Amino acid sequence: MNQLQALSQYTTIVADTGDIDSIAKIHPQDATTNPSLILKAAKNSAYKKLLLRAVQEGKDIEDAADRVLVNFGTEILKYVRGRVSTEVDARLSFDTDKTVEKARKLISLYKEAGVDPDRVLIKIAATWEGVQAAKILQAEGIHCNLTLIFSLVQAEIASQAGATLISPFVGRIYDWHKKNAGADWDERANKGTQDPGVKSVKLIFERLKGVGSKTEIMGASFRNKEQILALAGCDLLTISPALISELENCSAPVEQRIFKEAVPSLKCEEISHADFLFTMCADKMATEKLNEGICAFVADTLKLKELLLTLQA
């Protein structure tokens, strides 16, 4: 048994990529995409037809960009047993109403393509406004994946909003702490279960399970195999094809590291808007990485639209 097979005994494996060929080889349970992954895949000539169809059917570039996301998602669903995550335009991260509107449109496009909405997770940045949008959407039966989660308070408000799934990030937290420590960084002392990103996901897992939350927790943004293995037992882990390959090519033992049964019952307290803002303000890492992530996704969304404009000409 290789490490990927062993890990799958404890955790649902999700492919983190927009590359349809990679997903076809892996055949994971679910798949996640984001603007950066879709942009990377869109530059592959093998998928040009998905872009051309979007441009031909789109009313304008904005509409064509939405259709590209859905075209990729629809193709990906042919090779996964479960769900695909499709991200709302990150420029709407601080606008509840427009996020809801965009999510509804994406679901309608999936329906037009013959896809069951239950197989789609709408990805939304875990800002206060994004979480309020998810609350509205979940009430309508639209499943949401709250992403760019770097703090416990983001995870808690997402759970309280009834989010189907959350994606707490590991690698980007690791990156921040390593950069911030500079020459004082001790890689060995911050490896595996001691990795700051791993510790953040474990804290979120224990907190949400402790209050009886039904929200699924999916560790994301991995830099190395050790981070993944340190979270064996998390509900889901979304992993890049490169790291999936590393796991497949290693037969070293895999031990479960996180246990739902070991989490004590905790009291659930509603978090107000003011409490959320203050907690985020006090967390420099979470604030910086959330803003950085949103800006990076916006930049790649705009690059995708520039690419579509060249096809429209």
Q: Is the pLDDT of residue 313 over 70?
A: no
Residue 251, CA distances (Å) to 1, 3, 84, 193 in order = 6, 5, 29, 20
Q: Is the pLDDT of residue 262 over 80?
A: no
Token pair belonging to 168: 């707490």
Q: What percent of the chain has pLDDT over 70?
A: 100
Q: How far apart are CA 193 and CA 51, in angstroms?
A: 42
Encode pLDDT of 126-159 as tens digits.
Answer: 999 999 999 999 999 999 999 999 999 999 999 9
Spell out the domain ranges in the chain: 3-312
Q: What is the mean pLDDT of residues 225-245?
A: 98
Q: What is the mean pLDDT of residues 37-65?
A: 96
Q: Where are the alpha helices (DSSP H) in the chain?
A: 3-7, 20-26, 35-42, 48-57, 61-76, 96-112, 128-139, 152-160, 171-181, 196-210, 225-229, 241-248, 273-281, 284-312
pLDDT, position 284: 98
Q: What one-character DSSP code corresponds to residue 232?
A: T
Encode pLDDT of 53-107 as tens digits.
Answer: 999 999 999 999 999 999 999 999 999 999 999 999 999 999 999 999 999 999 9
pLDDT, position 260: 86
Q: Which fold has domain 3-312?
A: TIM Barrel (3.20.20)
Both ends of the chain: CA-CA distance in Å? 52
Model confidence at 263, pLDDT cuts 50, 70, 90, reads confident
pLDDT, position 65: 97
Model confidence at 265, pLDDT cuts 50, 70, 90, reads confident
Identify residue 29 by its one-letter amino acid code: Q
Token pair belonging to 149: 């989660």
Give the DSSP letter string of 89-123.
PGGGTT-HHHHHHHHHHHHHHHHHTT--GGGEEEE
pLDDT, position 268: 84
Q: Hey, which residues are catalytic here?
A: 123
Token pair belonging to 266: 């905790």
Q: What is the mean pLDDT of residues 199-226?
A: 96
